[in-house]
Every structure is written in structure tokens, then in C-alpha cells.
Amino acid sequence: MKESLRGPLIAILALIAVPALAGETPVLVAVVSQQAGILSLVDAEAGRVAGEIRLPRVPAAVAATSDGRLLYVTHPDLGLVTPVDVAARRAGASFAVGKEPFGIAVIEDGRALLVSDWSADALVRIDAATGRETGRTSIGRSPAGLVVAARTGYAYVADRESNQVSVVDIATMQRAATIPTGRAPFALALSPDGGELYVANVQSNDLSIIDTASATETARIRIGLMPYGVAVTADGARIAVTSQQSGKVALLDRATRKIVTEMKVGEYPEGAVIAGDRLIVANWADDSLCIVGLLQPAPACDGRVPVAAGPRMMAVVPPARD
């Protein structure tokens, strides 16, 4: 497409899109800025920061409840987890979790949390209301990213220094399997049908594709330098992977296992989430988000949103239900 046409076309598309969404609550993305100690709520549609919440020092990962009312943020350096009230834009009292709580997921309709403990090599289950530990299992070394398959009740944890994913049965808090991956797995994402798990391997510069039914790695795709973030489109057709040291995002086609698009997004891109037809990437060294319209013929950073220093991990906040 000619460069001169792109601007007006985007403007027209934006006009068409706006009426359909009028009156609806915007989808927010929670962005954790680690250096600044700030959680930003970003309206990805409008491309602006809708709220900023000051957190205790060095926040890392974030997870949202399915009703979009609460967020939980880990602070590995402090051994704390902080709850955040989305509507009130307010952080609640932090509670102690393990030694270095890092990855986090909300389970059981918000009644419990799962937290990976980086230095205890464990997955910990927490009562969300009291902050009390209600379960624990030993997994591999330096567990980082964590995702939950609601349908099967399994949690998948990237054991970074063990080069594997641990599969944990949440009901019993027992490890059901370990799956070898590339070197230093960090971030992971599930396909919408739960059939495939995508694992970004930071040190081996590739993405492991895992068949969840057989708990085996079925493909390993070369991505770029230091893959740090992974997200899947709502239809499961595309997988977005950031390459932190290459400053790029690759879009992988699920069916062909081929990279269909690769784009420069900024300096040290890390976290990636997909909200609707938008891919949001956190550029750690640029202190900004890059917003990519996935329906564009040539996806690129259509929008940039400045955020507080050191954005890394993110979570999509589901629209609040009444």
C-alpha cells in the first residue's frame, strides 16, 4: 500500500469502528513498569493511558481476575504480591508470598492465585482473600512465566534454568509432567482451544510448540534474539513473539508453522498481549507500548503510547461484569 494512502485509510477504518464500540467499556491493558514502580491501565483502542497506580518497588508480573475488577502484581525483590482495585485505581495492602514470587495467575473465579517462586523453585497456591498459602509443589529451577488451562485444570510453568515446562494438576497441586524445551523458557501462552502451548526460549532464540494432550514438544521454531513475550490471537491462527535483543515481533502462522510477518517495534520489546484485533508490545528501553493493528495488510506499530519507565509484563483486563 502506498504510504500516502495508509493514513487516510486508517482514519476511515477508525471511524467505522468507533460507533460499534460507543457506550461499551474500553478494554484495558494493565502494564507493569518495573523501574518506575507504576502500573498503567492503557486503553489500547484509544491509544492512551487511562490510569496510573503507584506500587511498591520493582513490580514484575500481573494477572487479572476474569471479572476485570482486580489485578495482582508480584514483587520478586520484596517477596510480596499487591492487589489492585481496577475501578478505584488503587493498590491494596501487599501480602507476603514465598521467597521471590514472579509469575502469577488467577484461578477459581478469583478465589485463589498461583504464583511461581523464582528462588524456591516452587509453584505456590494462595488464598486470594487472605494471602495465605494453601498449597505448594516443587518444580524446576527458577520458574518464571505461568499459564492456566481452565478446561483441564493444569498449570504450565516455564522452569527457566531447568529448560523445561512443569505441568501441575491444580486440584491436587502435584506435578503431572515435565516437558523439555529450548534453553531458558520464560514466557508462555496457550492456544484458545488449549491444544497447544507456546513457549518462548530466551537463550536458544526459539519458540517451543507443545502438544498439551501428549505433553510433548512437537516443533521448535527459530524466532530472533532473546524471545521474551508470546501472545495468541483470539482465533488461534497467529502467534506473536517478541525478540528482545532484535527489537522485533514475529507473527507465526499456526497452521504452517511459518513466520508470516516480522516487524521492528522498538528497543528491547518484552511482554506481548493481544486484545481484540490489536497486539500490544511493551518496549522496555523505550518506555512505551507499540500497538499493532493485526487486521492491517502490513501490520506495524500504528500507535505508540508512552508509559512509566521500564514496562515489561502486561495483562489484558476483561471488561467488568455487573
Using CB under 8 A, list all residues that contact another protein: 34, 58, 60, 76-79, 99-100, 102, 118-119, 141-142, 144, 160-161, 184, 205, 225-226, 244-246, 267-268, 284-285, 312
From the list 132, 229, 139, 233, the residue with the least C-alpha distance to 177 is 139
All three cell numbers of 292: 499493532
Would you state the cell numbers that stand for residue 66, as one nine-digit string?
A: 476474569
Q: How far is the CB of 242 from another protein (least distance, A)?
A: 13
C-alpha cell of residue 160: 527457566
Q: Is the dihedral of CA 182, 185, 187, 193 positive or negative?
A: positive
Cβ 239 vs Cβ 252: under 8 Å? yes
CB closer to another protein, 27 vs 63? 63
Judged by CB, which is closer to another protein: 160, or 278? 160
Neighbours of 42 (CB within 10 A): 28
Q: Which is nearer to another protein, 184 or 239 (CB)?
A: 184
Q: Which is nearer to another protein, 178 or 245 (CB)?
A: 245
CB of 172 to another protein, least distance (A): 28
| Chain-centre distance for alpha carbon 300 | 20
**Least separation in angstroms between CB 65 and another protein:** 23
Q: For another protein, which is the closer residue by CB, 169 or 267?
A: 267
Q: What's the closest the beta carbon of residue 151 comes to another protein, in angstroms?
A: 30
**What's the one-letter identity of residue 32?**
V
Give the shortest CB-267-to-another protein separation in angstroms.
8
The partner residues of 190 in beta bridges, in order of sequence, read: 197
Q: How far is the CB of 120 from another protein (least distance, A)?
A: 12
Label the pairing between strands 259-264 and 248-253.
antiparallel
Residue 97 Cα distances to 4, 57, 221, 254, angstroms: 53, 15, 35, 37
User: Which CB, 113 or 232, lies closer to another protein?
Assistant: 113
**Residue 216 to residue 144: CA distance in whole angstroms:** 20
| C-alpha cell recorded at residue 102 | 514472579
